Amino acid sequence: MEQKFCQSCGMPLNNDVLGSNADGSKNEDYCQFCYKDGKFVTDCSMEEMIEHCSNFVDEVNKHLPQPITKEQYKEQMRGYFPKLKRWAK
């Protein structure tokens, strides 16, 4: 099965972290931290989301062969986030 990622924050998705639709069903596009009860949890800009997500660089580094800095992680997200459904123009 192809790995899916939250279309707002880029977090890897699995059944345990899926967001929810207004009717209570699971949302396959977003995680529970970004999308709950059919709406986004926070109203923020893409740059604000990148700043928030950069706080989790230590968790990201647990899964990388070489650790990256917070600034490197922000740069990666600036390249990746515009491709996500929430931020695509």
How confident is the model over 21-69, as pLDDT tens digits?
999 999 999 999 999 999 999 999 999 999 999 999 999 999 999 999 9
pLDDT at 2 (0 to 100): 83
Task: Answer whether residue 1 shows pLDDT above 80.
Answer: no
Instruction: Tell me the whole-structure pTM to 2 decimals.
Output: 0.90
DSSP code, position 25 = P
Looking at residue 89, its pLDDT comes to 80
Average pLDDT over residues 64-89: 96
In angstroms, rounded to a whole number, what is the distance separating the alpha carbons of residues 61 and 63? 5
- C-beta of residue 65 within 8 angstroms of C-beta of residue 39: no
Average pLDDT of the residues in 10-22: 96
